[in-house]
Structure 1
Amino acid sequence: MERLLTLSLRYRFFTFVALLLVTASGLWSLNHLTIDAVPDLTPVQVQILTRSPALGPIEVEQFITFPIETALSGIPGLQEVRSVSRYGLSAVTAIFEEHLDLYFVRQLVNERLTLATERIPAAYGRPMMGPLSTGLGEVYQFTLRGSGHSPMFLRTLLEWDIGRRLRAVPGVVEVNIWGGETKQFQVVVDPGKLLAFNLTLKAVFDALSQNNALAGGGYIEHEREQYLIKGEAMATTIPELGQIVVSHGPGGVPIFVRDVGEVKEGAALRIGAATRMGEGETVIGMVQMLAGANAQQVVERVKERVQEIQATLPPGVVIEPYYDRTLFVSKVINTVRNNLLEGGLLV
């Protein structure tokens, strides 16, 4: 210790420079330190989700979950595989050794998913890896309220506008949506009209699937120029869907979709809803943070983007946050600071 003090006093300039470097390094580390309210104990894991609305739990287990589990077996570093098979949903979780990199294991799982996809019928859905997040990744949650607007309108707005803009924020990997109604164009077929035209329900399905698409036809050369050929048959309105030809009657008279049923705007079948303070149905958005990101910085960016989005929303539509991780972190830090001060005074 005496030798250290002697050297410090002898080389004062170098001692002062070293002190400045250590102080600057400490300040930089303080500003870039990842601070959260609670430690994230989520293991190194990858979740694989497959949606199949037409299958029950037994069929989901047999045709989706089991092939995925079989394909994952033997991956280096794999410790455990868990799965849940529910109506219309398969969730498989692969847990790996702690020392492995999360991006590396996701690459390994993605390679095995190619094999699993070949064993699952295309009509039953396609397995996809879950977002690159953890159990504590839900850092910001809000409701979307709009006086005079339907739950379908609010969900559509959140899904196609607000959600996409929030996903572009650095550190955000996903925006989950709860509540509301998913907008659909529906064709309600009249069985009596089908019999009158001697048609089947399959004929209507085939007509809608084959005539509601885009197709390319190459190009035509004319006077040293190329003219692209494309078929634009994507229906975007109810009248366009109604004008799709199902078949032809006597004399070549076309039979349209509108002739065999009603084309209307409706909502997809759902199994749940979201409410707020007992005031009725609402739509909820939940922002998920990238694994390993700084929660405080990510939430600050999200709040800035929310302010930008709010200025462009239709009149009466309001984004109201009800969970903010930064507020939780601030309260925890204040509690720790007060406890240290009180403990220091008592000692």
Structure 2
Amino acid sequence: MRAIITWFIKNPVAANLLLLLVFAGGLLSLLTMKVEVIPEVSPDQIEISVEYRGASPQEIEESVIRPIEERIASLSGIDRIISTAREGQGTILVEVLTGWDVHELFNDIKTEVDGLTTLPREAERPIVRRVVLRREVLNLALYGEADRETLKYWAERVKDRLLELSGITEVEYHGLLPREIHIEIPEKSLRKYGLSLDQVAEMVARESLDLAGGRLKNPREEYLVRVRGRRYFADEYRFLRLFG
């Protein structure tokens, strides 16, 4: 250390150049540093959640959690799997190995889960997402003497207006039921074609699926193949052929 100090004393020009270099590097880092008032933290975790209304925790564990765990257990990059079964819902938290490509493992898990066909028919489709930790900036309450549809309409209008503001990337609203599509079939029609409501429900579910089709690879790129067949609007079900 003494030798270095002595050398800089004898070579003041080099010392000044080094000082300028350190100062310039610090200034450049300051100008390019990303600063967030409320930073978004993405831990190396992937969550799979499934709603199964009316099911007990034991039913959730046996019919939902175990099949999913068995499906993804052999994937590379998984450090640990933590599962939770509660009334009406099952959650599987996948912790990713340090240094592993989280995006690649997310795609692998989603492909495997989307291809699972042994879950109960009454269960909702599994939702696979990366865990992102966010902090709320503002809470708004929308209320008034109006029906739910009116409140939902204005909640969506407020959400759209907020998203138009610069600096706002996500807005969520809670407390309102999601829209549902009801399919009504006369009992006479069921008897005519020898069908039950359970059979019709199974056929409708089978005709409204997004299916994983595997992967296509070349030396430089990799593509995930998916068949999109899920229906979102009532008109898409109106002329659905159930058989024949």
TM-score normalised by structure 1 residue count: 0.42
- Distance (Å, rounded) in 1 between the aligned partners of 2:112 and 2:197: 38
CA contact (8 A) 1:44 1:95 kept: yes
Counterpart amino acid of 1:74? S
Alpha-carbon distance change, 53 to 129 in structure 1, aligned in 2, over 3 angstroms: same
Q: Which residue of 1 aligns with 2:86?
A: 86
Give the letter for the 2:128 counterpart.
M
Give 1:215-294 correspondences, 5 Å limit: none
Instruction: Tell me if the contact between 2:106 and 2:130 (Cα under 8 Å) persists in the aligned partners.
Output: no
Do the aligned partners of residues 106 and 181 (structure 1) sit closer, same or farther apart at CA in structure 2, a change above 3 Å counting? closer
The number of equivalent residue pairs is 203
Distance 1:69 1:164 in 2: 41
Answer with 1 or 2: which has the greater Rg: 1
Pair 1:98 & 2:98 matched? yes
Judged with a 3 Å threshold, the aligned counterparts in structure 2 of structure 1 residues 107 and 177 are, in CA distance, closer, same or farther, namely same
> What is the CA distance between 1:73 and its match in structure 2?
1.6
Residue 203 of structure 1 deviates from its aligned partner by 9.3
Alpha carbons of 1:73 and 1:167: their partners in 2 closer, same or farther (altered >3 Å)?
farther
Distance 2:29 2:150 in 1: 45
SS in 1 for 2:76: coil
CA distance in 1, matches of 2:99, 2:55: 38
Residue matched to 1:145:
142
The alignment's C-alpha RMSD in Å is 4.9
**What is the alpha-carbon distance in structure 2 between the residues aligned to residue 179 and residue 111 of structure 1?**
31
CA distance in 1, matches of 2:130, 2:79: 20
Offset, 1:61: 2.8
Cα distance in structure 2, aligned partners of 1:52 and 1:167: 36
- How far the C-alpha of 1:57 sits from its partner, in A, is 3.9
Within-5 A mapping of 1:196-215: none
Percent identity of paired positions between Structure 1 and Structure 2: 18
Gap runs ≥5 in structure 2: 205-232, 240-244
Amino acid in structure 2 at the alignment position of 1:119: T
Q: Is the 8 A contact 1:152 1:181 kept in 2?
A: no
The change in CA–CA distance for 1:167 and 1:45 in structure 2 (over 3 A counts) is farther
User: Is the 8 Å Cα contact of residues 50 and 89 (structure 1) preserved in structure 2?
Assistant: yes
What SS does structure 2 have at the residue aligned with 1:47? strand
Contact 2:78–2:94 under 8 Å retained in 1: yes
2:159 is matched with which residue? 162
2:185 corresponds to 1:180: no
- Cα pair distance change 1:150/1:187, threshold 3 Å: same
Higher RCO, Cα 8 Å, sep 6+: 1
CA distance in 2, matches of 1:89, 1:167: 34
The 1:138–1:13 alpha-carbon spacing in structure 2 relative to 1, beyond 3 Å, is same
AA aligned opposite 1:143: L
Counterpart of 1:217 in structure 2 is none
Classify the secondary structure of the residue corresponding to 1:145.
Answer: coil
On the 8 A contact 2:80/2:95 being kept in 1, the answer is yes
Q: What is the alpha-carbon distance in structure 1 between the residues aligned to residue 161 and residue 82 of structure 2?
A: 31
Paired residues of 1:57 and 1:87 also in contact (CA < 8 A): yes
Partner of 2:113: 113
TM-score, normalisation: structure 2: 0.56
More strand by share: 1
Once the two structures are TM-superposed, the CA of residue 48 in structure 1 deviates from its matched residue by: 0.5
